[in-house]
Structure 1
Amino acid sequence: MRRRRGVLLTAALLALPVAGPSRAAPALPAGWEAQGQCGVVRSGEVPLGGAEVTLYQAGRGEGGRPRVLARARGGADGRFVLDYRRPRDPQTVLYVLAGVGPGAGGVGAGASGDRRTPDGAGGREADGPVVLAAVLSGAGAPPELVVNERTTVAAAYALARFTGPDGVAGPSPGLPNAAAVAHNLADTGTGGVAALLAAPPNGGLTSTLAEFNTLANLLASCVDDTTGDSCDRLLDLARRPGRERPRDTLRAAVDIARDPGHDVAALFALAGTAERYRPALSAAPDAWTVALRYDGDGHELDGPGNLAFDADGNAWVSNNYRYGPDPGVPVCGGDAVLRFTPDGRDAPGAPYRGGGLYGAGFGVTVDARGTAWVANFGFQGMGCPVDPKPLERSVSQFAPDGTPLSPPGGWRGAGIVQPQGMAADRAGTVWVANCGTDGVARIPDGDPARAREIATPGLHKPFGAAVDPAGRLWVTGNGSDSVQVLAPDGTVERTVTGAGLRRPLAVATDSRGNAWVGNSGILPVPCGDSTAADLAAALAGEDGPRPGASVTMIGPDGSTPAEPFTGGGLFLPWGVAVDGDDTVWVANFGGHRVARLCGVDLSACPPGVRTGEPISPPGTGYTSDGLERNTGVQIDPSGNVWLANNWRTVPVPANPGGHELVVLVGAAAPVAAPRLGGG
């Protein structure tokens, strides 16, 4: 009966009036369901007639190639019908490309090595510069698919890290998760702005909506072009330094997404020649990063500290405080761990409570079994009547489905007091940086009964923790301006000082075993003899990058460059993450910006940029008014950069917590999850 309904739908769609014929691909393998999809190609409200429309199934895995499922030529009114057989696998990613204008006789990006589709029909390249796109999968097929500049920008940014010379391809879960994120930007049923982007905590509260429309106007400048000058200008400006010139509008948008700080002012000026979508930016941004805010149900995030991804790309998020909308009303410690789906919704049953959770800070990790661990630091707002001391001495553990595995008081012992950073390795060991006792807890095989305390002489106020590809633990000492390296069995190998280490916070490792440390310069973490009031006092008079703000690179042997790195928008570094290209991303606890530095893989950096030098604009970094005071930064399997708005820009002691996660869509090279050690 299900297959018959699909056949009837196809017949009904084919009965709709269109000016051009639909050309369906021949029979495809069993397990596919007959389907029809009608749609329209337009720019703003203006139909684009005669477009060559091609529906693709994205390639699977590394080196995969897309498959042509159907083709159609649009009528004079821009309408088309695609008749195809839809794969039943929900992880399959489908997308539509529409070649518009002279020479657009085929919009395929190489469906196979010989440029032929699996059914023997020829796959042809687009000859014209105007190629628009829309992601069909990820949120269900709309009754009518709209393909326009907005859907093209959404597809380009969400799929930026999966779009290559041969089209869209990549592994799960990264690629299907990325396709779902595209629907947070554009509504493919209307061609308008997606509901998530249009409403708080996005909408008029940040400039992202206007920036998104400005990018759509930028592509419209080429659609409107009658002489070719605007198209040539777009393709020239979008070209990434050292890379080939993009051949069409879709690939121009992809290149802008991948190098958002290049030729920003000139691109903004070109966008102003086709003001089709409103509201739009009134001035050029610092970079074309697209920053989305996620807040779950709007009543749960209050001081998110850090996050960690599981194998499906879900984000587990630690939360300092119980949610309270009024910053003047005291809040007590957070009693839940949050879990967001890759497109920013609450995961089933989330948030999760129990297991001894209270006032979690920077510590959260996911181990090789998919179990989540959270460090109970004991954060609470000034005025909360609860005594935090009995509650700041444990870690909590949760099964992949959110069921608490730790007892009501959490897992205790092993010197755990005011725990902060956590990390897990491939062998199953979980590590905890105990900020309150100047030690580290080692939990072998994730078995709390075997946990033991490891003394770390040379470290005061251990804070950040990361495991390298060799299974060694790197721990920062915020109160000792040092970093310590522990062997997999817990033996202390070395202590690193100097090299610009100054009030260090987070640490991350790359695929070659280097450690990258964020030096705040001034921030005392509120453990031991320091309090949250001391942290707030250190922020007083903030009017520029703080003294000592930098990043230190430490080699596997403990060697360091002569000077730390200071460019790219480093303001008040806190969180550090390394992406799949070994590029380094730094969150700032001030300045509303993210820094991006060249890592050890110079091939991933612009020509002439060396290790540690900025990729993001040197003076500003990637700024966004959607960012507040950021602590954690992590990168998911789709290449999205997630940041925690931990504190408000102007923190109030009773409830200083921020209320959002911020995601830079498609900005980084994807990272496999869970992250279990550098590579």
Structure 2
Amino acid sequence: MRRRRGVLLTAALLAQLAAGPSHAAAHAAHGRPPAGQHGVVRSGDVPLGGAEVTLYQAGDGAGGGPRVLARARSAPDGRFVLGYRRPEDPGAVLYVLADLPGPAGPRGSGGSGGSWGGGGGGPARLAAVLSGAEAPPELVVNERTTVAVAYALSRFTGPDGVAGPRPGLPNAAGIAHNLADTGTGGIAATLAAPPNGALTSTLAEFNSLANLLASCVGGGTGVAGEACDRLLDLARRPGGERPRDTLQATVDIAHDPGHNAAALFDLAATTPRYLPALPEAPAAWTVALRYGGNGHELDGPGNIAFDAGGNAWVSNNYRYDPDPAVPVCGGESVLKFTPAGRDAPGAPFHGGGLYGAGFGVTVDARGSAWVANFGFQGQGCPIDPAPLERSVSQFAPDGTPLSPPEGWRVGGIAQPQGLAADRSGTVWVANCGADSVTRVPEGDATRAREVPVPALHKPFGAAVDPAGRLWVSGNGSDSVQVLAADGSVERAVTGGGLRRPLGVATDSRGNAWVSNSGILPVPCGDSTAGDLADAAVAGDGGARPGASVTLIRSDGTPVPEPFTGGGLFLPWGVAVDGDDTVWVANFGGHRVARLCGVDLAACPPGFTTGQPISPPDTGYPSDGLERNTGLQIDPSGNVWLANNWRTVPVQTNPGGHELVVLVGAAAPVPAPRLGGPASP
């Protein structure tokens, strides 16, 4: 076998040289020898011969297109060798497409165009990513690796192929390796092990998606025409073009996971090639991965903020303990995760006055991370939190504390919750315990000043709009306050369904979106964490009055009626993606809601602003979710949520222990977020 591979590699390289002398000259000029990648195309354990295999370098930037690095055809045993020149750029994203032979024609042709570029043959197209992990000795291209590519890179496809800006596209390539192992074609270690694996249904769902593609691939007998037609018809998004191949069909499912979910499940069940698979149809085909860090650091993650590299900074309520019956004191670390969900070098970080951080975390224009020290702790902790709940902490990008050991105790900070930063470097603090906002000009804590906001009681969520204005929710006053960039108080907003509001997000046009929990009192001032727990548990068991989202126009005028449905249950965190679509976390119900935003072109045909895109009764559900607070969207289009509390929140230690990521679900957002979203 080793001799056979050597012969094939030599043949591939000779074919490149025959194509033109420039290849050899280029290798010599750059001092880089040709690379050879062995691989195999399979469906389950069945080899797929005759596949046209093409290696691409993805386009760098939204305007760039991919380029072909090598081509080969799989032998009867499915194996192939790609000989190519390594790109000069070590960060280049490389991916492989395998087009299986099949009937030509308008319904089944992969053609030479297609949204992923290249390839001929039928509609059965498989894929794998080479970048983002060490290249395996033998690359496996199968249905699992295809689903991984389609979801992780779903937001970087276009008429000319895969392309996108950094860091979003390279980060997405890395995330694909959390789903499928390209060296074996099996389940990747991240998906296979706790806190994923048998603990959630995501692994079975991932296998079902692979089975869906296998129904078209046909197990080595060529394409299964009827199944392929059925798949391409069902995957077609409302108002969109019919996908031309299995890969694009999976991308379309990732973009609209609630569309035809039950019918797609029925088709997947016809070819149970990958097990375990789902026993029943999901409400939506979202792929939810859980990240647990080092396994002993996350305890009550509150919110998330992304830096310019797409790394996630996470606030943490409590000191870690896996036992909910053990009293825990306030968390004294800020967490930093790589885009692929692993601890960043040196993380978690300590010092700088950290204690019991809540909902407040942000990254400023210089890359510093700021954390609000609310003073959270479990019942039974012997520490008096009063002296510790009056500061914010600041960290350099490498995790070095920039605030003093007691934190920045400036500008009237009291039980701080929401934080926001603008393009000038100014940081804003919502003081839940003081009915005020603290403004830190250009991130200089020595110049911080308190701004009273009498129209607010229990200021909580904070967001900056594209004009630099601050929007702050008042959980205890059913109101929102708008402040000018210089800190002067502008309009106070009431009505529009505002009821126990929590999270605030702004869109590209300067509108504000506010999540209304309806019944949840935040634990500051005259409310306790026990009051919040009682309200949350009561909300789980019955009607949830007021659970909705309010849209406030950029001029401060609320839309008269709030938006409901789409899985809104106990709304908390809210974020707007690069298409101005609105995403909402829930502090109960194990689901995420998605609403049509102000850009109707990004919504299904006929939809109006505020109309739910997620299934009306369930939203996008996942048994990997618990009680979620923070929700944010990264530069790769992944939706991150904080499992803040357990479903049964025992108050000695109610904290959840995971972050949950909906892979490739949203339009990417540049980071850090300094005033409304924008497409990368």
Q: TM-score, normalised by structure 2?
A: 0.94
Instruction: Output one character per residue of 1:243-293: Cα deviation in whole Å (capped at 9) or x when no partner.
Output: 100000000000000000000010000001110000000000010000000
Q: Distance in 2 between matches of 1:545 and 1:603?
A: 34
1:194 aligns with 2:191: no
Q: Distance in 2 between matches of 1:296 and 1:357?
A: 19
State the partner residue of 2:6. 14
- Choose the corresponding residue for 1:600, options 586, 594, 598: 598
| SS at 1:374 equivalent | strand
Structure 1's 335 and 143: CA in aligned 2 closer, same or farther, altered over 3 A?
same
Q: Distance in 1 between matches of 2:209 and 2:10?
A: 30
Q: Distance in 2 between matches of 1:33 and 1:546?
A: 65
State the partner residue of 2:664. 666
Unaligned runs of at least 5 residues, structure 2: none
1:208 aligns with 2:207: no
- The letter of the residue matching 2:627 is R
State the partner residue of 2:131. 137
| SS at 1:431 equivalent | strand
- The letter of the residue matching 1:240 is R
State the partner residue of 1:39. 39
State the partner residue of 1:439. 436
| SS at 1:306 equivalent | strand
State the partner residue of 1:58. 58
1:650 aligns with 2:644: no
Q: Distance in 2 between matches of 1:435 and 1:13?
A: 66
Q: Distance in 2 between matches of 1:406 and 1:545?
A: 44
Instruction: Output one character per residue of 1:576-630: Cα deviation in whole Å (capped at 9) or x when no partner.
Output: 0000000000000000000000000000000111100000001110000000000
- The answer to whether the 8 Å contact 2:515/2:550 transfers is yes
Structure 1's 31 and 162: CA in aligned 2 closer, same or farther, altered over 3 A?
farther
Structure 1 residue 103 displacement after superposition: 5.4
Structure 1's 108 and 85: CA in aligned 2 closer, same or farther, altered over 3 A?
farther
Q: Distance in 1 between matches of 2:95 and 2:594?
A: 30
- Choose the corresponding residue for 2:286, options 285, 289, 295: 289
- Stretch moving more, 534-543 or 39-48: 534-543
- The letter of the residue matching 1:360 is A
1:451 aligns with 2:443: no
Structure 1 residue 307 displacement after superposition: 0.5
- What is the 5 A alignment of 1:175-194? 175-194=169-188
State the partner residue of 2:93. 93
- The answer to whether the 8 Å contact 1:545/1:570 transfers is no
| SS at 1:379 equivalent | coil
| SS at 2:387 equivalent | helix
- The answer to whether the 8 Å contact 2:9/2:81 transfers is no
Identity %: 78
- The letter of the residue matching 2:493 is V
- The answer to whether the 8 Å contact 1:23/1:72 transfers is no
- The answer to whether the 8 Å contact 1:552/1:565 transfers is yes
| Cα RMSD, aligned residues only | 2.0
Q: Distance in 1 between matches of 2:541 and 2:167?
A: 42
State the partner residue of 2:140. 146
- What is the 5 A alignment of 1:476-555? 476-541=473-538, 542-544=540-542, 546-555=544-553
- What is the 5 A alignment of 1:400-419? 400-419=397-416
State the partner residue of 1:7. none
Structure 1's 200 and 108: CA in aligned 2 closer, same or farther, altered over 3 A?
farther
- The answer to whether the 8 Å contact 1:33/1:88 transfers is no
State the partner residue of 1:119. none
Q: Distance in 2 between matches of 1:573 and 1:31?
A: 57
Q: Distance in 1 between matches of 2:13 and 2:413?
A: 69
- The answer to whether the 8 Å contact 1:629/1:647 transfers is yes
1:338 aligns with 2:335: yes
Structure 1's 109 and 524: CA in aligned 2 closer, same or farther, altered over 3 A?
farther
- The answer to whether the 8 Å contact 2:307/2:367 transfers is yes
- The answer to whether the 8 Å contact 2:462/2:471 transfers is yes
| SS at 2:537 equivalent | coil
- The answer to whether the 8 Å contact 1:53/1:72 transfers is yes
- The answer to whether the 8 Å contact 2:52/2:120 transfers is no
- The answer to whether the 8 Å contact 2:585/2:628 transfers is yes
- Choose the corresponding residue for 2:634, options 630, 633, 636: 636
- The letter of the residue matching 2:156 is F
1:390 aligns with 2:390: no
- The letter of the residue matching 1:147 is V
Q: Distance in 1 between matches of 2:466 and 2:260?
A: 37
Structure 1's 227 and 437: CA in aligned 2 closer, same or farther, altered over 3 A?
closer
Structure 1's 377 and 655: CA in aligned 2 closer, same or farther, altered over 3 A?
same
Structure 1 residue 543 displacement after superposition: 2.4
- Stretch moving more, 651-660 or 88-97: 88-97
Q: Distance in 2 between matches of 1:559 and 1:386?
A: 44
- The answer to whether the 8 Å contact 1:52/1:107 transfers is no
State the partner residue of 2:76. 76
- The letter of the residue matching 1:433 is A
Unaligned runs of at least 5 residues, structure 1: 1-9, 116-122
Structure 1's 108 and 308: CA in aligned 2 closer, same or farther, altered over 3 A?
farther
State the partner residue of 1:319. 316
Structure 1's 400 and 545: CA in aligned 2 closer, same or farther, altered over 3 A?
farther
- The answer to whether the 8 Å contact 1:328/1:655 transfers is yes
- What is the 5 A alignment of 1:200-239? 200-224=194-218, 228-239=225-236
| SS at 1:575 equivalent | strand
Structure 1 residue 546 displacement after superposition: 1.1
Structure 1 residue 539 displacement after superposition: 2.0
State the partner residue of 1:615. 613
| SS at 1:357 equivalent | coil
- Choose the corresponding residue for 2:346, options 340, 346, 349: 349
State the partner residue of 1:158. 152
Structure 1's 33 and 363: CA in aligned 2 closer, same or farther, altered over 3 A?
farther
| SS at 2:85 equivalent | strand
Structure 1 residue 544 displacement after superposition: 4.7
- Choose the corresponding residue for 2:558, options 557, 560, 565: 560
Structure 1 residue 34 displacement after superposition: 2.1
| SS at 2:554 equivalent | coil
- The letter of the residue matching 1:138 is G
- The letter of the residue matching 2:568 is L
Q: Distance in 2 between matches of 1:279 and 1:227?
A: 23
| SS at 1:409 equivalent | coil
Structure 1's 83 and 392: CA in aligned 2 closer, same or farther, altered over 3 A?
same
State the partner residue of 2:457. 460
- The answer to whether the 8 Å contact 1:49/1:76 transfers is yes
- The answer to whether the 8 Å contact 1:420/1:433 transfers is yes
State the partner residue of 1:49. 49
- The letter of the residue matching 1:181 is I
State the partner residue of 2:470. 473
- The letter of the residue matching 1:598 is C
Instruction: Output one character per residue of 1:139-175: Cα deviation in whole Å (capped at 9) or x when no partner.
Output: 0110000000000000000000001221110000000
Between Structure 1 and Structure 2, how many residues are aligned? 661
- The answer to whether the 8 Å contact 1:23/1:70 transfers is no
- The answer to whether the 8 Å contact 2:568/2:619 transfers is yes
Q: Distance in 2 between matches of 1:464 and 1:274?
A: 47
Structure 1's 333 and 107: CA in aligned 2 closer, same or farther, altered over 3 A?
same
Q: Distance in 1 between matches of 2:673 and 2:496?
A: 27
Instruction: Output one character per residue of 1:406-434: Cα deviation in whole Å (capped at 9) or x when no partner.
Output: 00000012110100000000011000000
Q: Distance in 2 between matches of 1:582 and 1:362?
A: 23
- The answer to whether the 8 Å contact 1:20/1:73 transfers is no
- The letter of the residue matching 1:14 is G
State the partner residue of 2:572. 574
- The answer to whether the 8 Å contact 1:19/1:75 transfers is no
